[in-house]
Structure 1
Amino acid sequence: MMLDHIYITHRPLMFHIAYRMLGSVSDAEDIVQDVFSQYMQMDRDGIVNDRAYLAKMTTNRCLNLLKSARRVREAYMGPWLPEPLPADVGTGTHDFAERRENIGYAYVVLLQRLSPLERAVYLSREALGFEYRDIAGMLDKTEVNCRKIFSRARNKLLEATDNKPNRTRRKTAQATEHEEQTRMADTPTESQEQFVEAFLRACDTGDFKPLLSLLLDEVTLLSDGGGKVRAALNPIRGIDRVRAFYEGLAAKGVFCEGFEAVSINGEPGIARRDDGVVTMVITTEREPEGSRIRTIYMVLNPDKLRQFNQSSPGTYR
């Protein structure tokens, strides 16, 4: 009974660490199961803090997996995007430190730009609220080294978010961790809802002008097929090229039917079903200081859509 309580209490934490680290729902689920199986067989008398210990085990297991998967990621065909998270996967009770760190899709994409070690340090500090001395013990690094790694990771994320390197460096020097966390956790659902509504309306009417009006001129569309299905192998940049892309798909009848509004990583998104099977999900990211969409993410790789086509996991197996 005690183990069941520990699992139910800490499973959401373990899952969200693994998902943010790996960008994969299925791998995160496997990590949670493997870590807890190992935990059950351990002598736990000397463990003072179950939460911290399970977080350490999960983080280190993710680092090991990322090392072994590096070549696979480098050889991936076309843009690699994280696995989208359905509404009913990875849910559960969170404490305040875990709730304040969102798992919006664009945020998970940003995290993948960090090295695995940077990701581990950043998430341990920002998402979990661990002290640097605890992070150093988890990762077998010095406290000074962890501070440097965190600072480097934070700067990378801020630069990627603003897309204005010089301005970012000036702001980073003055910003507090609280200000940065508040900003990174901003969830622009209103812009995403408008995109979803305009997209579904365009599918019904064939008129994409209202949809295109929501996009930045410098919008980028990323399409992940993983070599399994047809998808753009390179990012599509600029509103004119995105317009041509949509018009080309419309001419082939892609937008005739099957699209519906869904929750993706807790945010408004779109899924397409063919004969009841989800074959595409679409989600977006808006500009940092505005309401227009600057990035469109299309996931078509069937391996990354399995969670949308099966029931969510239950209790510990």
Structure 2
Amino acid sequence: MTDLAQAHDELRPLMFSIAYRMLGSVVEAEDVVQEAFLRLHRSSQDGVDNLEAYATTVTTRLAIDTLRSARVRRERYVGPWLPEPILDSPDVDPAYRIELDDTVSMAFLVLLEALSPVERAVFVLREVIGYEYAEIAAVVDKSEANCRQIFARAKTRIKDGQPRFAASREDRDRLATEFLGAIRNGDLAGLERLLAENVVFVGDGGGRTPAVQQPIIGVVAVARFLLGLMRQGDRLGVLLDLVQANGQPALRIRAADGAMLGVLTIDVDTDRIVGLNNILNPDKLGHLGPVGDLNTLLGHRA
């Protein structure tokens, strides 16, 4: 294996981790990583003293540029925007696996959307990757003092909304199992017991497939909506199975032939489900395998 090929294998997880957290998009993150490696290859001809530092710098700067160019697209996005899900599953392409923890949860990545591209870069490099301010300053081409200010400002902006996820992995999985059982059995009372009073359901169809255009809030409204979806899913032969997505329990939603239709992530805080994020936009599911056509199943166009 050549030095550069070995560097690719060693550095790719770090580069993809940075790009995905900044962009919330698997496809865009992969494009950034590929372009960064092309630049790394060209620069290696002249010699690079620190490959990791160079890879981090190029990846972060490319992600900043991508965020700036994507801003108009996201402003025009139809309905709520949610990140592309990453599943921790043996049948998912290993290229799209990263260390899944609370900093890749749907709730956390959505909060990062409130930050400017540079704020997001500084926050990710400091809070997630653990870089020192001097290292961050070199990456984003700002002074060390400025980076400290940017980080403090960014942390303040997302502090109030930052998810706590106080429940253990075991408690999350138990609640998710009970949640799936309740919706399968049409158990309204049981479902309501699992949901927090102010639970929020968000759907992301991106205008490509049917999804709620505004968040649904409150235990009664969300529970009844979920059971309505389940009845519809039963008629269509939809398959549901528990998986891990973005460091949290989730339901993988598939057509009868196994094609992907969506991913519903489940946010748990202490002993209740506080958030449900339903990613249905087919453009955000392609990295998970063959994608089904929900519009055809439903018999109408988005």
Q: TM (normalized to structure 1)?
A: 0.82
**Partner of 1:115 in structure 2?**
116
Identity value in percent: 39
Q: Matched residues in 2 for 1:187 and 1:11: separation?
A: 31
Deviations 1:121-152 (A, max 9, x none): 01111222222122112111121111111001
**Partner of 1:36 in structure 2?**
37
- The CA deviation at 1:11 is 0.2
Deviations 1:252-291 (A, max 9, x none): 345864111122124321111102111011112223xx32
**Partner of 1:91 in structure 2?**
97
Worse overlay, 201-210 or 50-59: 201-210
Structure 1 segment 9-28 matched on structure 2, within 5 A: 9-28=10-29
Structure 1 segment 42-53 matched on structure 2, within 5 A: 42-43=43-44, 45-53=46-54
- The CA deviation at 1:54 is 0.4
Q: How many residues align?
A: 282
**Partner of 1:295 in structure 2?**
275
SS of 1:41's partner is: helix
1:280 aligns with 2:262: yes
1:264 aligns with 2:270: no
1:305 aligns with 2:285: yes
- The CA deviation at 1:247 is 3.3
SS of 1:160's partner is: coil
Structure 2, unmatched stretches of 5+, are 291-302
Give the partner amino acid of 1:34. Answer: E
Q: TM (normalized to structure 2)?
A: 0.85
Note the aligned Cα RMSD (angstroms): 2.3
Deviations 1:157-205 (A, max 9, x none): 221127xxxxxxxxxxxxxxxxxxxx78x77433431332123313432
Q: Which of 234, 241, 244 is the aligned partner of 2:224?
A: 244
Instruction: Rate the CA distance shift 1:45–1:74 in 2: closer, same or farther, 3 A.
Output: same
Q: Matched residues in 1 for 2:225 and 2:102: separation?
A: 34
1:212 aligns with 2:192: yes
Give the partner amino acid of 1:202. Answer: A
1:198 aligns with 2:178: yes
Q: Matched residues in 2 for 1:28 and 1:109: separation?
A: 16
Q: Is the 8 A contact 1:221 1:242 kept in 2?
A: yes
Give the partner amino acid of 2:222. Answer: V
Q: Matched residues in 2 for 1:245 and 1:308: separation?
A: 26
Worse overlay, 276-285 or 123-132: 123-132
**Partner of 1:224 in structure 2?**
204
1:154 aligns with 2:155: yes
SS of 1:190's partner is: helix
SS of 2:156's partner is: helix
Q: Is the 8 A contact 1:271 1:280 kept in 2?
A: yes
1:106 aligns with 2:107: yes
Q: Matched residues in 2 for 1:191 and 1:215: separation?
A: 14
Deviations 1:63-98 (A, max 9, x none): 101111111000101100000002244337x8xxxx
SS of 1:298's partner is: strand
Q: Is the 8 A contact 1:132 1:146 kept in 2?
A: yes
SS of 1:82's partner is: coil
